Structure 1
């Protein structure tokens, strides 16, 4: 009897501790909500996509209406510029009232900020809407680097090609077929010039599919960099002379490639959003027979995040915005191809039946699932870009 009582006492004490923890968290979130009212958040985000910009305008209006938060969207061309600004502020001792309160970041830029101790940590999983997140997705690591609560996920992405059936009836399903297509149609393929992030993602896809042991990419490159990447450069040396302008020049962005595809200059473009093809068709920038495709072995994919710099002057409001971005309402709107079509990071099984049905409708007609290849450790990105520039960038 005594043993049973002790066991019940232990169970009761755990339950009480859990109850206290939940209540404390509720109280702390209520305090965050109270502090956030009237604050202004400067959200630095990539501004290269009209659909994403339109969505963020809606978010700005909603957090103002719901929480009294002013959300100013700073459209940037390259998140690396924001990283440099945060680093500069830290170097000059600006530990408070920084110019960035929230930022769209991942990969190499996150790695740089985290290494420098320039991000607020251990906050992401305290957001009330974290309970909806699909933790089977890589939401706790970013390019093989542990996030440690310094980033909150808000969307998924995967590199894909876009073409039209009328001009490319048989999509290449592997690297050998891509090379064969380039030989058959010289000058009609290309990719964005690295360090454009889609151009770099294309390099990653080639490396992931050509490397002898993909496991070596989960750690930072070492003295074996040349040996590991040799198959990549060998493939590019064969591919480049067959590309647009014989590989002596490259489009500046995927948006430029979209226009070149529409104008008949290219057979395919690249995107990090499989739903992007729907937008191009809806805007009548591509014909209805446009479609997305990828290599059957897989294409690199990731989760994109928002982060809070450690010197943010509006941390409570920044957390409120991040939490709203994770709400089913915001995630479903973002997943709507008519709005943006950015894939959700939420677990559909944690949504209501009506919400699941809505999400299913948004993904109907999407391209056949392509395996997602995990991206290399963030340290590979600058190394690949530097070597690519050395080999091909000065031509």
Structure 2
């Protein structure tokens, strides 16, 4: 700051000296020089202010947020259907926030559709303050929220852990389902679709063609959740990728008939597969947890999940048999990142930013990895050697694939706008056949 003041003083002095030297020339010349000097002085002041602002956007800004957040209760809205995650949030994470920042976490279980409905109602009512602070969100729901001006941002540049530990060049840091993030959400955890099954049945299918033969050999013992269930929808998109390819979906227009024509071979496949599914494909489980329970009860021999290490957790708690194994298609499976955003009128915005920064702390991500077996969002090369060793020591449990294999077979998500279109087409052509 002192350096900037000295710079302004020197520029001002030089400018005034020029005015005095030229004033002997009289009238217009002196007047013009005075105007030029004033413009230069104004420019110097503006540059100094910009430099001050630049210096402040870092630890100083975050320190102010930390101070403001002390004593606040932050409301974290998101899906509450994962008991293990709920326990971790209410336990380790809540305790971490209280101990380190004097922030109280209030987890509010609510489906994302209801969250968006509430934000929409608040906006229509002209509300300037919302109880919704943090939001667990991604994909088409993030696109909807951002386009409708429900979110606060950009804010990630304020967060030290985001800048220090997140790979800024990762496509999933820049875009969510191919939709630009632009600092309006921060990574929470990575997910990847995995398939799982009973290894006693035999070899698992390596592609959709083998899956059809597998279903024919085991009629009624395979299914997938009804769309728009998140996992069921991802499975259908994975089938599309395996049959149609990946690249064209990154550029196709969000036009229903154009998409229908593109995915036609995959829809024909799903119609051919249906008679060999549970209930002959006339109905589908309502959700991924329902399907998982059917597998646990022996009603199914195969399932799928967006939780990459679900098998290890299932074997550990006894819901899956020790014979359960994770597998992928040879071409890979879809992976994405889930994020945390802040509502535009969040009542406790400072606490939300501090809490989101805490979620990206190495020790927090390590505990999530150990406890929940969630793929970390941190860039391993940015971690200290000691922390890298701690992550490498984590025992992922039985029946799972190593993280390196998952990431090597990780396929990109489709643009968010295509997801509801594909779900509609599935309803019309597969369910409605």
Residue 330 of structure 1 deviates from its aligned partner by 0.6
Which residue number corresponds to residue 78 of structure 2?
45
- Give 1:387 deviation, angstroms: 2.0
Q: In structure 1, the residue corresponding to 2:186 is in which secondary structure?
A: strand
1:285-304, aligned counterparts within 5 Å? 285-304=319-338
Corresponding residue for residue 156 of structure 2: 124
**Could you give the per-residue CA deviations for residues 161-219 of structure 1, whole angstroms, max 9, x where no partner exists?**
1112223x311111101111011111111001111100111111112222256323445
Native 8 Å contact 1:308 1:315 kept in 2: yes
In structure 1, stretches of 5+ residues that fail to align are 1-13
Instruction: Measure the CA separation in 2 of the matches of 1:24 and 1:381.
Output: 37
Q: Distance in 2 between matches of 1:306 and 1:36?
A: 18
Higher alpha-carbon deviation: 365-374 or 36-45: 365-374
- The separation in 1 between residues aligned to 2:389 and 2:143, in whole angstroms, is 37
Alignment match of 2:221 (pick from 173, 185, 188): 188
Decide which moves more: 179-188 or 207-216: 207-216
How far apart in 2 are the matches of 1:125 and 1:210?
40
Q: Following the alignment from structure 1 to structure 2, what is the Cα–Cα distance between the partners of residues 394 and 120?
A: 40
Specify which of 340, 345, 366 is matched with residue 311 of structure 1: 345
User: 1:25 Cα shift?
Assistant: 2.2
| Alpha-carbon contact 1:220-1:378 (below 8 Å) kept | no
Q: 1:85 to 1:19 in 2, by over 3 A?
A: closer
Matched, 1:376 2:408: no
**8 A contact 1:220–1:377 mirrored in 2:** no
SS in 2 for 1:44: strand
SS in structure 1 of the partner of residue 78 of structure 2: strand
Q: What's the CA shift for 1:289?
A: 2.4
Query: Which residues of structure 2 form unaligned runs of 5+?
Result: 1-46
> Which one has the bigger helix percentage?
2
Tell me, in whole angstroms, the C-alpha distance in 2 between the residues paired with 1:213 and 1:350. Answer: 30
Q: Secondary structure at the match of 1:172?
A: coil
Distance, in Å, in 1 between the alignment partners of 2:312 and 2:245 is 36
Question: Taking structure 1 as reference, are residues 295 and 334 closer, same or farther at Cα in structure 2, changes over 3 Å only?
Answer: same
TM-score by length of structure 2 reads 0.82
Match of 1:356? 388
Does residue 160 of the first structure (1) align with residue 198 of the second (2)? Answer: no
Aligned counterparts of 1:74 and 1:119: Cα–Cα separation in 2: 18
Match of 2:130 among 94, 98, 104: 98
Distance in 1 (CA, whole Å) between partners of 2:281 and 2:52 is 63
Q: 1:305 and 1:64 mapped to 2: Cα distance?
A: 22
Does the 8 A contact of 2:267 with 2:430 survive in 1?
A: no
Is it true that 1:277 corresponds to 2:302 in the alignment?
A: no
Instruction: Give how far 1:361 is off.
Output: 2.3
Shift of 1:87: 1.2
Distance 1:394 1:69, change over 3 A: farther
Please report how far the alpha carbon of residue 135 of structure 1 lies from its aligned counterpart in structure 2 after TM superposition.
3.3
Q: Give the Cα separation in 2 of the matches to 1:394 and 1:228.
A: 19
Aligned to 1:197: 230
- Sort the Cα spacing of 1:376 and 1:363 in 2 relative to 1 into closer, same or farther, 3 A: farther
Instruction: Please give the secondary structure, in 2, of the residue aligned with 1:291.
Output: strand
In 2, are the aligned partners of 1:162 and 1:277 still within 8 Å (CA)?
yes
Q: CA RMSD in A?
A: 2.0
Residue 71 of structure 1, CA deviation = 1.2
Structure with greater Cα Rg: 2
Q: Given the superposition, is the C-alpha separation of residues 276 and 364 from structure 1 closer, same or farther in structure 2, using an over 3 Å criterion? A: closer
TM-score by length of 1: 0.90
> CA contact under 8 A between 1:156 and 1:344: conserved in structure 2?
yes
Q: How many angstroms apart in 2 are the aligned matches of 1:394 and 1:69?
A: 50
> Retained in 2: the 8 A contact 1:188–1:266?
yes
TM-fit CA distance, 1:65: 2.2
- Is the Cα contact below 8 Å between 2:57 and 2:157 reproduced in 1? no
SS at match of 2:249: helix
State yes or no: 1:81 paired with 2:114: yes
Aligned equivalent of 1:29, options 30, 49, 62: 62
- Which residue of the partner structure matches residue 110 of structure 1? 142
Which of 350, 358, 369 aligns to 1:335? It is: 369
